[in-house]
Amino acid sequence: MACSKTGPTERNGIMPKKAGNSGRGQRDLRVRVKTARGRKLSSTLWLERQLNDPYVQKAKREGYRGRAAFKILEIDERFRFLVPGARVVDLGCAPGGWCQVAVRRVNALGEKSGKAQGRVLGVDLKEIDPVPGAETHVLDFMEDGADAQVKAWLGGKADVVMSDMAAASSGHKQTDHLRIVALCEAAAHLAFDVLEEGGTFVAKVLAGGAERELQTLLKRAFTKVINVKPDASRSDSSEKFVVATGFRGLPEARDGL
């Protein structure tokens, strides 16, 4: 029985869209999302961006819980702090993508024969689905005694404290900037209490001016502080990551030794 060829068809409000010639005799397809009844335009645009984001698709293929995994992968490719045997604390670890990367790189499952086995501890305000090779707990890291609890769970101090946290968006750019810088400063103070000498601190901030005070604080406690924006960060995002290496403690803490 003969059948005729048809073009791309709409399915659940999603229509593949021709996006021009790739130069290889093939046409690239971009997914276009039609606005559905009851769906806001902002939600439609977000869904369309997700469906066309190569890092979202790559995360699905490689088994990561989100595109953010590629941000920490890129950062670690440059600075090499997630090494076999390292002890890692992931603050605000939901949904778990950074923990997944850390587990593989520090050999938390002991799968790399002949390499030291590391540990990965993730904490968040809410419970997350288990990450094989990582230990996760519900914890507000800004509560009194959180540093002691982290060290107790980890069995000692950490080599790496990292954070991809962001406060809930208020819709006001400067307010969001101040909130995430405050979160980052709080994470830094916990890092001061739990990091081993020579340790590394990585955290997300939003550009906006107030992060300069954070830089000053970190430079007092680390030998090197650098801002980076991974390729996996969206080009229209103001996010960047501060990477502080060579932890030596705050001067007042060193003077008290």
Choice among 5, 58, 115, 204 that is catalytic? 204
From the list 175, 189, 177, the residue with the least C-alpha distance to 141 is 189
Residues 6+ apart with CB under 8 A from 221: 188, 192, 244, 247, 248, 249, 250
Residue 164 annotated as lining a ligand binding site: yes
Residue 124 annotated as lining a ligand binding site: yes
Q: What is the 3-state secondary structure (H, E, C) of 223-256?
A: EEEEEECCCCCCCCCCEEEEEEEEECCCHHHHHC
Q: Clarify whether 204 is annotated catalytic.
A: yes
Residue 46 annotated as lining a ligand binding site: no
Cβ neighbour number for residue 49 with a 10 Å cutoff: 14
Which residue has tokens 């995002």?
Answer: 237
How many CA atoms lie less than 13 Å away from 59 in the CB half-sphere?
24
First-to-last C-alpha distance (Å) of the chain: 86
d(CA 107, CA 211): 33
| Sequence-ordered alpha helix ranges (H) in 127-168 | 146-154
Q: From the annotation, which residues make up the binding site for S-adenosyl-L-methionine? A: 96, 98, 124, 140, 164
Q: From the annotation, which residues make up the binding site? A: 96, 98, 124, 140, 164
Q: Which residues are catalytic?
A: 204
